[in-house]
Structure 1
Amino acid sequence: MLPKYFSPTGGHPGQEQLLTDRAVFTDAYAVIPKGTMRDIVTSFLPFWSKTRLWVLSRPLSGFAETFSQYIMEVAPGGGSDRPETQSGVESVLFVVEGQMRLTVDGATYELSPGGYAFLPPDAVWTLHNTSQAVSRFHWIRKTYEAVEGLPHPETIVTNEQDVAPTVMPETDGKWATTRFVDPTDLRHDMHVTIVTFEPGAIIPFLETHVMEHGLYVLEGKAVYRLNQDWVEVEAGDYMWLRAFCPQACYAGGPGQFRYLLYKDVNRHMKL
């Protein structure tokens, strides 16, 4: 069975609806529920046509420090010949709906749902929706931390369906991670993976670690422990977790709980 990825469609709530929601913003974590991704909170970017986006995280005092993350919505015929305007930036694209045509340094790729692309810093790339339907994808950006003696990583273009998940030890297959990059490849300073929990599976301890996280729920629901709080989340919700924020979860069922996960890795702590 092919995965189903939640993606927002915008719109606007009626005046009869309550304004109460699950949005939370603290100095350790943030929860941006899917219901907040409406038309009036979209943004636009230079050199992108027929495109709008939801900004999920950005470098900001008391918020994300190492990355930005967008959900891009591209209408038929839209896209960009100059998508990135800042030098030294690496990107990951992950398609959740529709079709996109990607060119990178002269090579052309067709991306469909589940499509993943890692674009190294200063890659020359374009992206267009050549289909007759709206396309949506995640765009995660980070300033690449070069290390003398390590070359830049190469472009990677694949699809989730072509990458075998890695099962976590002693979980009977109930917790697995789809890794698009070799974890031992130290050229990479960020990883974007897909984490999958079967119904009832758990993170059985409070993870407390140096990696910052951006976490978008692609499918299912769970109860997530964030710092001292238990928070219900579902497909379409986004979480930002500050470095060292304690975290764990219970997958709620009835289907799989799956999320797209960003983390910064493989570099010394700047002093």
Structure 2
Amino acid sequence: MTAPRYYSPTGGLPAQSELTTDRAVFTEAYAVLPRGTMRDIVTSRLPFWEDTRLWVLARPLSGFAETFSQYIVEVAPGGGSDRPETEPGAEAVLFVVDGNLTLTVAGEKHELGPGGYAFVPPAADWTLRNTSDRVARFHFVRKAYQRVEGIDVPEAFVTNEVDVQGHEMPDTQGRWSTQRFVDPGDLRHDMHVNIVTFEPGGVIPFPETHVMEHGLYVLEGKAVYLLNKDWVEVQEGDFMWLRAFCPQACYAGGPGRFRYLLYKDVNRHANLSRQLL
């Protein structure tokens, strides 16, 4: 496997002489947040997090993103949180793209470097600290866990993407593969956060149209991506949000590989509670 690399924002502010025109777009079916939108003035802070700022990529919003939130979090040396989650029903995936972090879950310590991946179940006792001497950055994906009677809540786990085998999609000769951090048949999990890789020339050869909501953060490379009716150029550092049933496809033209971190909601009935009230 080629050594992974990950784009992460560093903030700053464009010069007054630069053009305002960019690729940012927000529609009823999808949104694209190019990497150039992730500047100092759009960062946020969180309660009980020290020496930390973040870019909010997605959040539940009526009529748009419904199931998840996603942040890119930047933690200065010595920063972090002993109370990182204020909603006990929230599960999380952490994916480190720069620097090193110390994660403690139920009293057990884990060191996470670039490519480090952790799943944290709802109501877990956990902390996260930057004990290194350089800034660390990670993706923080959160979802309200949907409990089902008779199905256990999944336990926490920690791994690194270099230890997770990619599964080739059928008849693609390895040009399209997915690293799955959770067994798709494990119904305890109601979200998947995977890494999808396209080698140059790899494609999604039909417009995928399905119930899953998606968040895609481009870790490496560039491609053209079909979003609803529009072919959009995207590059490393860009984020795409896709509403459920938004048609999507991809063509990775190179020159290098194209990779993204992919969120999707899975393994649960469509919620009819609103209709039954």
TM range (shorter): over 0.9
Q: Counterparts of 1:2 and 1:248 in 2: how far apart (Å)?
A: 26
**Distance apart, 1:156 and its partner CA:** 1.2
Give the alignment of 1:54-73 within 5 angstroms. Answer: 54-73=55-74
Q: Counterparts of 2:188 and 2:62 in 1: how far apart (Å)?
A: 28
Q: Counterparts of 1:212 and 1:243 in 2: how far apart (Å)?
A: 4
Partner residue of 2:100? 99
1:25 aligned to 2:26?
A: yes
Q: Counterparts of 1:270 and 1:262 in 2: how far apart (Å)?
A: 19
Percent of matched pairs sharing the same residue: 74
**Distance apart, 1:197 and its partner CA:** 0.1
Partner residue of 2:275? none
**Distance apart, 1:196 and its partner CA:** 0.1
Question: Unmatched 5+ residue regions in structure 2?
Answer: 273-277
Partner residue of 1:45? 46
The one-letter amino acid of 2:53's match is: R
The one-letter amino acid of 1:41's match is: V
Aligned Cα RMSD in Å? 0.5
1:152 aligned to 2:153?
A: yes
Q: Counterparts of 2:3 and 2:103 in 1: how far apart (Å)?
A: 22
Partner residue of 1:143? 144
The one-letter amino acid of 1:97's match is: D
Q: Counterparts of 1:22 and 1:252 in 2: how far apart (Å)?
A: 19
Offset from partner CA, 1:198-240 (integer Å, 9 cap, x none) = 0111000000000000000000000000000010000000000
Partner residue of 1:213? 214
The one-letter amino acid of 2:271's match is: K
Partner residue of 2:79? 78
Offset from partner CA, 1:57-83 (integer Å, 9 cap, x none) = 000023210000000000000000000
Partner residue of 1:234? 235
The one-letter amino acid of 2:135's match is: V
Q: Counterparts of 1:66 and 1:121 in 2: how far apart (Å)?
A: 15
1:90 aligned to 2:62?
A: no
Which secondary structure does the structure 2 equivalent of 1:263 belong to? strand
TM-score (norm 1): 0.99
Offset from partner CA, 1:36-75 (integer Å, 9 cap, x none) = 0000000000100000000000000232100000000000
1:112 aligned to 2:113?
A: yes
Runs of 4+ aligned structure 1 residues displaced above 3 Å come to none
Q: Counterparts of 1:119 and 1:252 in 2: how far apart (Å)?
A: 36
Offset from partner CA, 1:215-270 (integer Å, 9 cap, x none) = 00000000000000010000000000000000001002111100000000000011
Which secondary structure does the structure 1 equivalent of 2:206 belong to? coil
Offset from partner CA, 1:175-203 (integer Å, 9 cap, x none) = 00000001100000000000000011100
**Distance apart, 1:118 and its partner CA:** 0.4
The one-letter amino acid of 2:205's match is: P
The one-letter amino acid of 2:16's match is: Q
Size of the aligned set, in residue pairs, is: 271
Which secondary structure does the structure 2 equivalent of 1:182 belong to? coil
Q: Counterparts of 2:57 and 2:28 in 1: how far apart (Å)?
A: 16
The one-letter amino acid of 1:212's match is: E
TM-score (norm 2): 0.97
Which secondary structure does the structure 2 equivalent of 1:199 belong to? coil
Offset from partner CA, 1:80-132 (integer Å, 9 cap, x none) = 00000111100000000000000000110000000000001111100000111
